[in-house]
Amino acid sequence: MSRRTTGLAIEAEGLTRSFGDTRALAGIDLQVPAGTVYGLLGPNGAGKTTAVRVLATLLRPDGGSARVFGHDVVTEADKVRSRVSLTGQYASVDEDLTGTENLVLLARLLGLRKPAARERAAALLAAFGLTEASDRQVKKYSGGMRRRIDIAASILNTPDLLFLDEPTTGLDPRSRNQVWEIVRAVVSHGTTVLLTTQYLDEADQLAGRIAVVDHGRVIAEGTPGELKSSIGSGTVHLRLRDPAQRPEAERVLREALDVPVQLAADPVALTARVGDAGTDLDASAQAARVLSDLARAGIVVDNFSLGQPSLDEVFLALTDHPAVPTDERDDELEAAR
Amino acid sequence: MSDTTTTTTERAPTVYVPSAEALATVLAPGSRPPRPSALSASLTFGWRAMLKIKHVPEQLFDVTAFPIIMVLMFTYLFGGALAGSPREYLQFFLPGIMVTSVVMITMYTGIGLNTDIEKGIFDRFRTLPVWRPAALVGMIFGDVLRYILAAVVILGLGLVLGFRPEGGVAGAVVGIGLLVVFSFAFSWVWTFFGLILRSEKSVMGVSMMVLFPLTFLSNVFVEPSTMPGWLQAFVKVNPVTQLVAAIRGAMSGESDPSATMWLLLWSAGFVLVFGTLTMYRYNRR
């Protein structure tokens, strides 16, 4: 039996929510197709967590409306709850309890009888590589294990929609990859995933569509490809040997790429976007041309790199202001009480 | 409930490689079990409280050592002056100090809830499709066991020190039963404060401000007849006074129906008013 649903998993229109004077959501519109990974990309304080909390029925919106699989998140909260799971940014399992105890507890709350709950817990622990740690208190887990038990707890009943709020923040690269693999497996079984992240590459790796969120609004939306072609798919970073050559290097870059060149505070550094829509060369070919043009002009380059645009650069491109992090949850807790 | 320091020990485990096959076996959609009943969900949350006691047994300190100190301190401090001897005083005082200790312990319900919310675990609970009050009711179920433990510790110590309840075993059981009913009801005051106050510290502060006058301005320590009229008026309406009178009655074998009735009315009132306020806040956040 396939649970793959067609249509929209989430539809939100004009969601607003304020905490005191802080406007966490300033009218968010979202349409998340079922069966996909959808990324909410933005800095801390952009409103991602608040949006997730509203959609997961934890917080009432001040205005606007949202439906999850057609059920209103305010008036039909219970119906929504029976189809979603949330892995929050903060502890979503009990740190004093062991891995097994946490999963058995939640499985019992979902209606499994004790033997079935134990069986389910053991199967999940095994699949998530936590069998060895199953009798240890969660507070003794490493960061990566913590995230895995959080996610395992969220799929005790395979949900139709899984919220993952910054699932890889603070994880080392290996643990991050493990989480990515798990997300891919979850979505391949028909679960829709709404993922929030501060990392463009994470959204790019996992999400079918991305909404870029800033100051409680969606400022850009589309597939990773569409977003990248609107903001440039890469960035070259240069460090020169001689700071006196920077004005000359800036001219060479501008002529080669036909884009604005950013001069960093560091007197030998320059940054420019490559791979913009409308150029006939891809990012690496453009980078190669920049290097050869610089060499021909006699400019000595000490360090050269080509990378994806960082979230900062995406924000600069989309909003003309850098991503300003604020601690959203603290604001929320302050104001909610 | 007390909290221990969080330590993270990073062992060097064998590297976990997520395997698509292993994950597939747990992701296959099974049939959804039926939603658990309100009672079953509450008991499951109560089980969580038991597990926490198992892992953090230090949290029983406040229901064992604290009551023992209270009994010893006040019995020997006031006994000679107020009743001629500590042993005499104990006949009057024991039910009172039992109430004082247990009612004071109820505040840990609010502190525990506040800590849970702060840590984020309640976000998970609140997204579960279960009877809404279950998480809180279960938490208080766990606390009720702590109240019983405290009451038994105090009664045991009292018996050792010479307290002799005329009402016998039955009287003692009824007395503790009344105390548990009231404490369960009174705990809802603290779930409410645990939800609306910002931090563990402020919950503690408010609790103390409420609990000190409530327990001391009562008939726990002395007969109210020596107090000024305005104070007697307060002492008379104080639910703690009714509770103590009802328990004294039960334990001495001469039950006090009026006090018992008032105590049950107060209990119903606390659940009705603060239970409702708590659930309103719990759902609104």
Answer yes or no: do A47 and A189 share one domain.
yes
- Which residue is closest to A113 within chain B, CA to CA? B33
CATH classification at residue A178:
3.40.50.300
The more confident residue out of A278 and A58 is A58
Q: Which domain holds residue A40?
A: 8-229
Q: Cα–Cα distance between B184 and B191 in angstroms, integer? A: 11
Answer yes or no: do A105 and A238 share one domain.
no
Q: Is the pLDDT of residue A147 over 50?
A: yes
Answer yes or no: do A160 and A68 share one domain.
yes
Answer yes or no: do A190 and A242 share one domain.
no
Contact list in B for residue A330 (CB cut-off 8 A) is none
- Which residue is closest to A111 within chain B, CA to CA? B36
Answer yes or no: do A22 and A165 share one domain.
yes
CATH classification at residue A285:
3.30.70.2470
Contact list in B for residue A89 (CB cut-off 8 A) is 120
The more confident residue out of B9 and B105 is B105
Q: Are A210 and A222 in contact (CB under 8 A)?
A: yes
Answer yes or no: do A100 and A185 share one domain.
yes
Distances from the Cα of A29 to the Cα of A7, A13, A16, A217, A219, angstroms: 16, 5, 10, 8, 10
Confidence label for B156 from pLDDT (cuts 50, 70 and 90): very high
Paired residues of A263 in beta bridges: A270
Tokens 């005329």 sit on residue: B166
The question of ipTM being above 0.90 is answered as: no
Dihedral sign from CA coordinates of B185, B187, B192, B193: positive
Q: Does residue A330 fall inside a structural domain?
A: no
Confidence label for A329 from pLDDT (cuts 50, 70 and 90): very low
Answer yes or no: do A32 and A144 share one domain.
yes
Q: Is the pLDDT of residue B17 over 90?
A: no
The more confident residue out of A233 and B269 is B269
Q: Cα–Cα distance between A9 and B170 in angstroms, integer? A: 60
Answer yes or no: do A256 and A182 share one domain.
no
Answer yes or no: do A273 and A167 share one domain.
no
Answer yes or no: do A156 and A112 share one domain.
yes
Residue B117, φ and ψ in degrees, nearest 5: -65, -45
Contact list in A for residue B5 (CB cut-off 8 A) is none
Q: Cα–Cα distance between A246 and A301 in angstroms, integer? A: 10
Question: Among candidates A162, A181, A9, which has minimal Cα distance to A87?
Answer: A162
Q: Is the pTM of this model over 0.90?
A: no
Burial class (CB in 10 A: 0-12, 13-18, 19+), A122: middle
Q: What is the pLDDT of residue A324?
A: 54
Domains of chain B: which residue ranges?
A: 41-284
* Per-chain mean pLDDT for chain B: 88
Between helix B134-161 and helix B61-83 the angle, nearest 10°, is 40
Subunit contact B119:A91, Cβ cutoff 8 A: yes
Q: Does residue A314 fall inside a structural domain?
A: no
Subunit contact B26:A109, Cβ cutoff 8 A: no
Question: Among candidates B252, B254, B206, which has minimal Cα distance to B96?
Answer: B252
Which amino acid makes up residue B235? V
Q: How many H-runs (helices) and E-runs (strands) does chain B carry?
A: 13, 0
Q: Is A47 in a helix, a strand, or coil?
A: coil
Answer yes or no: do A202 and A244 share one domain.
no
Q: Are A49 and A125 in contact (CB under 8 A)?
A: no
Subunit contact B6:A139, Cβ cutoff 8 A: yes
Question: Which helix (H) or strand (E) element contains residue A165?
Answer: strand A161-165
Q: Which two tokens stand for residue A184?
A: 């891919």
Q: Does residue A127 fall inside a structural domain?
A: yes
Subunit contact B7:A142, Cβ cutoff 8 A: no
Preferred mutation among A108, A168, A178, A194 to probe B, highest tally of B CBs within 10 A: A108
Q: Which two tokens stand for residue A259?
A: 């884009």
How many Å lie between the alpha carbon of B17 and the closest alpha carbon of chain A?
7
Q: What is the pLDDT of residue B283?
A: 82
Contact list in B for residue A142 (CB cut-off 8 A) is 8, 10-11
Counted domains in chain A = 2
For the segment B119-139, what is each residue's pLDDT rounded down to a tens digit? 888 889 988 999 989 999 999
Answer yes or no: do A213 and A302 share one domain.
no
Q: Is the pLDDT of residue B3 over 70?
A: no
Distances from the Cα of A28 to the Cα of A14, A156, A215, A312, A324, angstroms: 5, 30, 10, 21, 19
Q: Which two tokens stand for residue A329?
A: 């949850």
Say which residues have a Cβ less than 8 Å from residue B27's Cβ, sequence separation at least 6: A155, A158, A185, A186, A189, A191
Q: Which two tokens stand for residue A310?
A: 């960082």
Q: Are A146 and A29 in contact (CB under 8 A)?
A: no
Tokens 């949850």 sit on residue: A329
* Residue at which a domain ends, from A171, A204, A229: A229
For the segment B196-237, what is each residue's pLDDT rounded down to a tens digit? 988 889 999 999 999 999 999 999 888 888 889 899 999 988
How many Å lie between the alpha carbon of A60 and the closest alpha carbon of chain B?
7
Q: Cα–Cα distance between B164 and A158 in angstroms, integer? A: 59
Subunit contact B48:A84, Cβ cutoff 8 A: no
Subunit contact A105:B123, Cβ cutoff 8 A: no
Residue A84, φ and ψ in degrees, nearest 5: -120, 165
* B27 closest CB neighbour out of A59, A60, A189: A189
Q: Cα–Cα distance between A131 and B13 in angstroms, integer? A: 11
Q: Could you give the percent of chain A with pLDDT greater than 70? A: 86
Q: Cα–Cα distance between A132 and B13 in angstroms, integer? A: 9
